Amino acid sequence: MNSKNHTIDNFIALDTAGDTIVVAVSLAGKVHSKSANRAESRTRNCAVLTEELMRELELTFADIEGVIVALGPGSFTGLRVGLSFAKGIVGACDIPLVGVSRFEQALHQLREAKEPIPEALLVLMKANTYYRFRVSSAEEAQVDVVTIEDLAESQESMGFIDCDIPVLEGKTINATKAQSINFRLESLFQAAAEKYQSGALTPWTELEPLYIQRSGAEIRALEARKS
């Protein structure tokens, strides 16, 4: 697939957050990509797709100026594999790594479409627990973990991504919309371009993904930090 309209060139993008593995390269004003279903991951993984795409485009890693990686929320295994592969490339090639969450990508698409933006975007993490992407201004945002009880007490407007508006007996969730956003590959490059050009990059060794289902130890550690 080839697509136009992005503002970052000579970057590889890896998206392993969903059921489809996607590898893309931005080159000369276009996005070229290859994808595979997660069920094919034993034979059609990030490394294989990247090699195939770069061979077709007649590129080597010397031509690549940076890597973009989707940070989720998403599959534990998929995100871990994608981020590890991305870190391997940037570590070997000494190039920047730009991590983009689903929330940042969704926010970019909402702004581009000139749609109303809720004060918080939410993705279901596990039963009654959500990742909340709280937008405090046009440029700043914060991700935390909240329960359905936290949401019932909140007065902010909320948008739920790929999940239903929760119901808590006797209380009303202040949800402006229950939206399902179809993530576009172009918006991953565009959201990454904004971060890269602003210089607001987390050191690649410190980048961590947002898992839909964290381990019990991670959840307990999060709860301990909140208390």
Q: Are residues 68 and 119 in the same domain?
A: no
Q: What is the pLDDT of residue 46?
A: 92
Q: Are residues 166 and 109 in the same domain?
A: yes
Q: Are residues 88 and 192 in the same domain?
A: yes
C-alpha neighbours within 13 Å on the C-beta side of residue 178: 8
Q: Are residues 200 and 93 in the same domain?
A: yes
What range defines the domain where residue 47 resides? 2-101+182-210
Q: What is the pLDDT of residue 203?
A: 92
Query: Mapping DSSP to helix (H, G, I), strand (E, B) and coil, where does residue 88 land?
Result: helix
Q: Are residues 70 and 115 in the same domain?
A: no
Q: Are residues 17 and 84 in the same domain?
A: yes
Q: E strands of 28-128, at which residues?
A: 30-37, 66-70, 97-100, 120-126
Is 108 in contact with 185 (CB distance < 8 Å)? no
67, two tokens: 């890597």
Q: Are residues 93 and 17 in the same domain?
A: yes
Residue 25 parent element (H or E): strand 20-27
Q: Are residues 134 and 29 in the same domain?
A: no
Q: What is the pLDDT of residue 138?
A: 45
Q: What is the dihedral of CA 223, 135, 179, 24, to 10 degrees?
A: -90
- Whether 216 is in a domain gets the answer no
Low-confidence ranges of the chain (pLDDT < 50): 1-6, 137-140
Residue 143 parent element (H or E): strand 141-147
Closest CA to 123 of 189, 213, 194: 213
DSSP letter, residue 29: T
Q: Are residues 198 and 157 in the same domain?
A: no
pTM, full prediction: 0.77
